[in-house]
Structure 1
Amino acid sequence: MLKDWKKILLLAIPSIASFASMTLTGTINLILVGQLGALAIAIVGVSNIIMYNAWAIFSGIGHTVNYLVAQNFGSNTMKKGVERTYIAFYLCTIACIIVFLVGLFFPADIFKVMGSSSDMIDQGKDYLQIRFFAMIFSIFTFVFHGFFRGIGDTKTPMISSIIGNLIMIFLTYGLTYGNFGLPEIGLYGAGIALFIGEVVTFLICAYVYFIRLHSKFETRTIVAFNRAESKLIFGESSKLGIQEFSMSMAMFVFTAFVTRLGTNALAANEVALSVMSLGFMPAFAFGSTATILVGQEIGKGSALEGRKAGTNTAILGSIFLFILGIIQFFLAEPIAKIYTDDIMVYQLASRLIMISAFLQLFDGLLNFYAGGLRGIGDTSFLLKTSLILGWLLFIPLSYVLTFVLELSSVGAWISLYTYLAVFGVSVMVRFYRTDWSLIKLKTVPTEIKENIG
């Protein structure tokens, strides 16, 4: 047991550091930008939701590379893993063209769809535009990270993320307020800082993949188009991307509801989400670890060992989130005050933090066991459950509690964690009801024929 837990922690801790650095960077940036006022906080918060939705559409590419490469690594078929990664790069190129065009022409229109005020649109459209341009690099970075984690290398994503995020923080402080001899360009400066940080992270990952790993995996080998593999990558990426997009769109509508409660309510919502992301990111990290360990065991032909690894990962992750929840519950108001000195905002934010401090365990269950299901390639279940619960439970319940029962922001957050609880329990049940003796390595139907030919 201790040996298994040590293996999990050796993979999870760098991932926690990686995701936590992203979260901490977002938190610090929000604090820095928060000094510009509640409107700036609201712009950044709404932009975060918009960008999460945009990223979610294409995130399935990275998730697919993660679990397929993990299986290939476990089965010692990394030539196939590199081929699949190149196919993912081709899909990323198409995705980035779409992202660039949307960022170039539609930022103001997207804010309008969110029901934003004219001030928010005028002051936020340029910031949102550069966020889209930054996403071009983050899409590729997520695929690189998926490959690295698939081979059990969680340190490279950690190092690249930390370096990129440190640069981002430095430039945010400098460009937003004119420090370190840099020009003072306000909120747009924070956007430029984020862009540069994403570029640096991408370049580090590209160096490791194409230069350092070439001798071991021949990563600079040009891969020809493989119709069967491309169909597999596209199909799996679509399912995982739509699943992530369904969840993010549900959050998009959730934020639109909160936006209509006023600037203070929206600012408090974003502060609380920023604080709670300290729990979301470790949950993602342990979920990613579950994908790695389960996928590698499937590749080795040891499905039951994969089930055991998924269970141990969930136990460790739950312990971590419980301890974090205790801290957040008892220090809710002091933490909220770090973001803003507006009494209306920090008092409401602290209430939301207390509501979610322990309920975030359900978000943990969702991530831990969804990671395990990705490891075995059970992507269809994740897609169907996300669509059903997001649009038939979460959104209707949010509307009823927020507006019909007039519970305002508190009602919105009760609906959020009801959704996460049902989703988390659902994927946990699926994980344990799966017949693991039938789980096989993910291959394409024509693979055997192609190899013979």
Structure 2
Amino acid sequence: MFKEWKKILWLAIPSIASFASSTLTGTINLILVGQLSSLAIAIVGVSNIIMYNAWALFSGIGHTTNYLVAQNYGSNNMKKAVERTYIAFYLSLAASAVILFVGLLFPEGIFKLLGSSTQMIEEGKSYLQFRFFAMIFSIFTFVFHGFLRGIGDTKTPMISTIIGGAFMVFLTYGLTYGKFALPEIGLIGAGIAFFTGEVVTFLICAYIYFIKLHPNFETRKKVTFDRSESKLIFAESSKLGIQEFSMAMAMFVFTAFVTRLGTDALAANEVALSVMSLGFMPAFAFGSTATILVGQEIGKGQPSLGKKAGTHTAILGCIFLLILGVIQFFFAEPIAKIYTDDVQVYKLAGELIMISAFLQLFDGLLNFYAGGLRGIGDTSFLLKISLLLGWLLFIPLSFVLTFLLDLGSIGAWISLYTYLTVFGISVMIRFYRTNWDLVKLKSVEKEYEADHVI
């Protein structure tokens, strides 16, 4: 068992560091920008939700690359893995065109759709525009990371994320407040910093993929259009993208509800979400590790070992979340004070953090076992359960608790963790009820959908 845990940690710890770097970067940026005003915190928070929706819609491209490359790596067919990665690049080009179009024309309209104040719209639209431009590079970076993690390289995504994040933080401080001989341009400077950080991360990954990996995997090659493979990757990317987008849109509506509670409530919500993103960090990392290990075992024709790897990954992930939850529960308000000295904001944020400190374990279960299901290609179930619970449970319950029962932000967060609890348990049950003897390698010749349930 300890040998298996060592292997899991060898993959997961760099991923934790990678997600931690990304999370820490976002946290530091929010703290830096937060010194401008509570309005600035709200603008960045709302923009984060908007961009999560934009990223989620196209994230399926990277997720699909990750699990297909993992399977191909396990089956020792890296030629197919590279071909599929190029198809993912082509899809990313199409996605970039859409993102550029929306970023140029619709930032102001999106803020209006959320019911934002006139002041928030005027001060936030330029910042949001730079975030859209940054998203173009992050879509490609996610594909690079998907390939690298698929072959078991979790260190390169970590390094690229840390370096890009360092650039982002440096420029955020410099351009927001006019430090390091840079111009003082406030919130717009923070947007430019975010864009620059994403470009740096992208360039590092492109260098590794096209230059460093070419001798081993022939990553610089002309890939002819394969209609069957393109259809497979588009279908898988669409299912995983819509699944993520469904969750993101549910959070979008959730944020719209909280926005109507006022600027202080929204600022507290964003501070709490920023703190709780520290819990998302190991959840995402161990979920990604589950995809890698399960996918590789499927490629080797050993599905039972894939199931075992997924279980061990979930156990280790839960241990990490329990330790983190204890810290967050007992230090909730002092942590919230780091973000703001507004008494109303940090007291409410502290209450929200305490609510979610241990309930985040269910968000962990969701990520761990969803990662395992991605590893076997069970994308249809993930799509269906995401749509069902997001729109028939989470959103109605949020409205009832927040407004009809007048519980405000507390009611909103109770509904959030009710949703995550049901979601996490549902995905876990699916993982163990799957007939693993029937799980096979995903291919265009015989596409397998894991609908065989005991």
TM interval, short-chain normalised? over 0.9
Residue aligning to 2:398: 398
Q: Within the alignment, does 1:281 sit opposite 2:257 as a pair?
A: no
Residue aligning to 2:451: none
| Distance in structure 1 (CA, Å) of the matches to 2:27 and 2:211 | 33
| Distance in structure 2 (CA, Å) of the matches to 1:222 and 1:239 | 27
| Distance in structure 2 (CA, Å) of the matches to 1:238 and 1:167 | 32
Residue aligning to 1:14: 14
Letter in 1 for 2:346: Y
- 1:2-27 alpha-carbon deviations (Å, 9 max, x no partner): 00000000000000000000000000
8 Å CA contact retained: 1:62, 1:145: yes
RMSD over aligned CA atoms reads 0.7
SS at match of 1:221: coil
Letter in 2 for 1:186: G
Residue aligning to 1:42: 42
Letter in 1 for 2:311: T
Residue aligning to 1:325: 325
8 Å CA contact retained: 1:336, 1:349: yes
8 Å CA contact retained: 1:67, 1:374: yes
8 Å CA contact retained: 1:177, 1:184: yes
Letter in 1 for 2:94: I
Q: TM-score, normalised by structure 2?
A: 0.98
| Distance in structure 1 (CA, Å) of the matches to 2:150 and 2:115 | 40
Letter in 2 for 1:107: P
Residue aligning to 1:450: none
- 1:213-260 alpha-carbon deviations (Å, 9 max, x no partner): 000000001101000000000000000000000000000000000000
Q: Within the alignment, does 1:202 sit opposite 2:205 as a pair?
A: no
Residue aligning to 1:5: 5
SS at match of 1:386: helix
| Distance in structure 2 (CA, Å) of the matches to 1:233 and 1:119 | 43
Q: Within the alignment, does 1:371 sit opposite 2:367 as a pair?
A: no
| Distance in structure 2 (CA, Å) of the matches to 1:286 and 1:112 | 37
8 Å CA contact retained: 1:402, 1:411: yes
Residue aligning to 2:32: 32
8 Å CA contact retained: 1:34, 1:41: yes
Residue aligning to 1:190: 190
Gaps of at least 5 residues in structure 2 are: 448-454
SS at match of 1:324: helix
Letter in 1 for 2:189: G
Q: Give how far 1:282 is off.
A: 1.3
Letter in 1 for 2:295: G
1:214-229 residue pairs with structure 2 within 5 A? 214-229=214-229
1:137-156 residue pairs with structure 2 within 5 A? 137-156=137-156
| Distance in structure 2 (CA, Å) of the matches to 1:16 and 1:338 | 23
Identical residues among aligned pairs (%)? 81
1:39-118 residue pairs with structure 2 within 5 A? 39-118=39-118
| Distance in structure 2 (CA, Å) of the matches to 1:409 and 1:181 | 41
| Distance in structure 1 (CA, Å) of the matches to 2:244 and 2:446 | 29
Q: Give how far 1:446 is off.
A: 7.7
Q: Give how far 1:281 is off.
A: 1.7
8 Å CA contact retained: 1:5, 1:312: yes
Residue aligning to 1:346: 346
| Distance in structure 1 (CA, Å) of the matches to 2:420 and 2:446 | 39
Q: Give how far 1:445 is off.
A: 2.4
Residue aligning to 1:361: 361
| Distance in structure 1 (CA, Å) of the matches to 2:63 and 2:150 | 10
Residue aligning to 2:452: none
- 1:56-76 alpha-carbon deviations (Å, 9 max, x no partner): 000000000000000000000
SS at match of 1:359: helix
SS at match of 1:357: helix
| Distance in structure 2 (CA, Å) of the matches to 1:164 and 1:97 | 23
Residue aligning to 1:263: 263
SS at match of 2:358: coil
- 1:26-80 alpha-carbon deviations (Å, 9 max, x no partner): 0000000000010000000000000000000000000000000000000000100
Q: Within the alignment, does 1:120 sit opposite 2:120 as a pair?
A: yes
8 Å CA contact retained: 1:239, 1:379: yes
Letter in 2 for 1:390: G
SS at match of 1:445: coil
8 Å CA contact retained: 1:228, 1:446: no
List 4+ stretches of structure 1 deviating above 3 A: none
Letter in 2 for 1:284: F
Letter in 2 for 1:201: T
| Distance in structure 1 (CA, Å) of the matches to 2:292 and 2:222 | 26
Instruction: Give the number of equivalent residue pairs.
Output: 447
Gaps of at least 5 residues in structure 1 are: 448-453
| Distance in structure 2 (CA, Å) of the matches to 1:58 and 1:282 | 22
